Structure 1
Amino acid sequence: VIHETVTALSTTEPLLSLQMFLQCAQAANAANFENAAYEFLTQAFILYEDNISDSKQQVQVIALFVGTLVTLTNFTKENYDTLITKTTQYAAKLLRKSDQCTAICQCSHLFWVPGFHEDAQRVLECLQRALKTADRCVNESPAKLFVEILNHCVFFFEKENPNISAKYISNFIALIDEQISSMDTEKDSDEAAEISKAYHETIAYIKQKSATEERYKEIAV
């Protein structure tokens, strides 16, 4: 009955219907009804492919997919892998490079859910793909996206992902330093100031952590 009701709603309110399918999936997962949860998610994916064409809505929905999928810790590895791989593919196909970068970074968290699903290599692949995408971005400053990626790197370092090492973050920080120093601050002083502020907040956080945690001292800042 729920499935039929939500499906009927999809003809006039596809986004609302999609959100309801995701909520149903979470409820079914909590009750250990994996097959039902998987079916609800499948319907949400079909709605995305068939009815969500606005680029801003696509970005919003991918974030919803990620937020939902990381909670589905009762799924089998095979089913979970299928869903998170599909979501990451959606992220890589977004229209704007900047949106691709942000969404791929979000998807990296699908591959590192401590105690449930830990695939360090796939996390690294997502972050590297996001970095390459940011570097090709023309509608937004690469430096801004680099800082966004750095924040995800620090998160995974904190969660002890073995592929996101102190050396990896140090090299990334050096890259961002180059980007920020080459920014045309006169052309867009407000954006440059915003990027610099966000970057230095992250650096300050790393320095703060290094005062109490030995592993953070290995990051060159």
Structure 2
Amino acid sequence: LDSIDVELYKRLVLPGVLEQIVSCRDAVAQEYLMECIIQVFPDECHLETLNTFLKACAELHSEVRVHTVLIALVERLAAYGQRQRQAGNPPIPDVVALQISLINLAFRCYPDQLELVNKVLESSLEALHRLKSDKIDSNSILGKELIRLLKMPVCNYNDVLMLLKLPHFASLMAKLDFNGRKTMAILVATNALENETCIRSQSQVDDILGLISALTVDQEDQPIGGGPDAEEIAEEQNMVARLIHLFQSEENDPDQQYRILTSARKHLGSGGIRRLPHTIPPLIFEGFQLANRYYKIREEDEMWEKKCEKIFIYCHQCISALVKLELAELPVRLFLQAALAVSHVTFANSETMAYEFVSQAFTLYEEEIADSKAQYSALTLFAGTLEKLNNFSQENSTPLRSKCALLASALLRKPDQCRALILVTHMFWSSTTKELEGKPMRDGKKVSECLRKAVKVASECIDFGVQAQLLIELINCYSFYFDQGNEFVKITHINELIAKVKQELLPQLEAGDEKDSVERHATATIERLRFKRDNPQTDSPSYQDLII
């Protein structure tokens, strides 16, 4: 035995002996031989091979008193720990390794007894208190052993809520350096996501976000410079964002959900510009869902209107936090999304609140968005939002639609102006107001004015290819409103545009991919109109006067 080291024992000796014991199928012999292994070989060997030994116990004859074998093993390991303490202060990594063996034993034999696991964690914490260093290097032997120890409850329970019942788990995790805590935080978050563990109460949210704080806020001991790149940060924060959607109270307790969201914002609000664009939007959309929950139970809760208003104020505060970070495009999108969410939950001040969201978006657009592509993208959102909002009075909707049309005509690039003016026509045709009681506005005159402006802007483009493309798009738009019965859109408008494209623009285009693309688009458009002229429908306007 003196010539056998731990590695040799682990690799050859124990597997061979256990194979013989398991295959003999004699209960008395098996029990005796297992106890011999426990008593004969050194403690260090048992610590390194505990998993192998326990797996063999599960394969023994059914009449073997396995508990007797396990008691003998525990007593042997306990005696080892006692001797180590009496001999002075043993190496801390050895102590943690012993705790790993004990916690593994607890999980395999007594999975339901949390107090045993917590006792092991407590013993480990007491051992670590002897260290002079505040933080343990995660790359050191001790750090790696501690991470192994902490991973075991996470991976064995597969329920992060069980970790909250282990009061010493968080304290042990706090002993690690930044990289170690971050590793554990990622493991905890990933485990919750993979097992879809819902966090049901405010206190649970506080504890979980406390465990993963290395992901959500800057840490005092995190490296300065040379940290993770933007892609890695985005991946980590997207994980946190997904986790937020697991913060769900019981269906019959929406008040608890509001407390959960408020608490989550307090934890995440200090995340800074690298984190908040990822973690704030989920809170806002969960707020929208909560407002819908209150709306559904409005007959049961007389305070539902005030609660909905409070929720949208919360959402406004969340979006404003992004504005303070000097972001613009994301807050604009969220302000408009909030306005749409309010329109689906009609309460006393819903119109005022929706108007505030839209006006804030316009203000942010004018003050912060300078890039022409970003402006055009934002205007498509404004037009789409104002078309779908249904809780505005005529008094409030008119200035907002007019503002959107004005901004469309003020875009820097002529093609963007033209296309934006085409988009805003839908606000004046399909949108509705309170006075209309859900019926579409059908402001044909305003639609016609926007289209005439768009034609004028398109005609000012110097590039014949771009001008032709825009006019073809306008032909299709005029055709749409003609089919819709807009009395201010005449077949003569379509004829004029077709003539200009065919006679003035297409002949001037140089041969190439651009000309081929424009001609294909023009041909498809004209053929569609020709079909309408040649196949009149009784319920559609006549294209009889169309000139192709």
TM-score normalised by L of structure 1: 0.92
Tell me the secondary structure at the aligned position of residue 70 of structure 1: helix
Whether the aligned pair in 2 keeps the contact of 1:66 and 1:106 (CA below 8 Å) is yes
Given the alignment, which residue of 86, 89, 94 partners 2:411? 94
What residue is the counterpart of 1:80 in the other structure?
397
Q: Which has the higher contact order (CA 8 A, sep 6+)?
A: 1
Matched, 1:125 2:439: no
Equivalent residue number for residue 178 of structure 1: 503
Structure 1 residue 11: Cα displacement: 3.0
1:185 Cα deviation (Å)?
A: 2.3
Equivalent of residue 440 in structure 2, options 105, 116, 134: 116
1:198: Cα distance to partner?
0.8
Shift of 1:217: 3.0
The gaps in structure 2 that reach 5 residues or longer are: 1-313, 432-438
Residue pair 1:73, 1:116 contacting (<8 A) in 2 also: no
- Between the aligned partners of 1:69 and 1:16, the Cα distance in structure 2 is 18
Identical amino acids, percent of aligned pairs? 34
Shift of 1:116: 2.5
- Residue 148 of structure 1 and its aligned partner are, at CA, apart by 1.3
Deviation of 1:55 (Å): 0.7
Question: 1:53 — aligned with what?
Answer: 370
Q: Which residue of 2 aligns with 1:216?
A: 543
Give the aligned partner of residue 3 of structure 1: 316
Please state if 1:160 is matched with 2:485: yes
Question: Map of 1:131-210 to 2, 5 A cutoff?
Answer: 131-138=455-462, 141-186=466-511, 189-210=512-533
- Per the TM alignment, residue 209 of structure 1 is displaced from its structure 2 partner at its CA by 2.7
C-alpha RMSD of the superposition: 1.7
Aligned mates of 1:101, 1:60 — CA distance in 2? 14
- Matching residue within 16, 23, 29 for 2:330: 16
Q: CA deviation at 1:201?
A: 1.1
Equivalent residues of 2:506, 2:519 under 8 A apart? no
Larger Rg: 2
How far apart, in 2, do the equivalents of 1:136 and 1:175 lie? 13
Cα shift at 1:118: 1.8
Q: 1:30 to 1:218 in 2, by over 3 A?
A: farther
- Three-state SS of the structure 2 residue aligned to 1:141 is helix
Q: Return the alpha-carbon distance in structure 1 between the equivalents of residues 421 and 324 of structure 2.
A: 29
d(CA) in 1 for partners of 2:374, 2:324? 16
* SS of residue in 2 equivalent to 1:185: coil
Query: Is the contact between residue 92 and residue 104 of structure 1 (CA under 8 Å) also seen in structure 2?
Result: yes
How far 1:128 sits from its partner (Å)? 0.8
How high is the TM-score relative to the length of structure 2? 0.39
Q: 1:41-67, CA deviations, whole angstroms, 9 ceiling, x for partnerless residues?
A: 011111101111111000000001111
User: SS state of the match for residue 217, structure 1?
Assistant: coil
Runs of 4+ in 1 over 3 A off after TM superposition: none
* Structure 1, unpaired ranges of 5+: none
CA drift of 1:15 comes to 1.0
Question: 2 CA distance for matches of 1:30 and 1:219?
Answer: 43
- Equivalent residues of 1:84, 1:110 under 8 A apart: yes
How far 1:208 sits from its partner (Å)?
Answer: 2.6
Deviation at 1:108, TM superposition (A): 1.6
Segment drifting more, 93-102 vs 209-218: 209-218
The Cα of 1:2 is off from its aligned counterpart by: 1.1
Is residue 134–residue 142 contact of structure 1 (8 Å, CA) maintained in 2?
yes
Letter in 2 for 1:31: V
One-letter identity of the residue aligned with 1:169: I
Could you tell me whether the CA contact under 8 Å between 1:180 and 1:196 is conserved in 2?
no
| 1:76 aligned partner, one-letter code | S
Greater CA deviation, 176-185 or 18-27? 176-185
Residue type of the alignment partner of 1:209: K
**3-state DSSP of counterpart to 2:529:** helix
Q: Give 1:168 deviation, angstroms.
A: 2.2
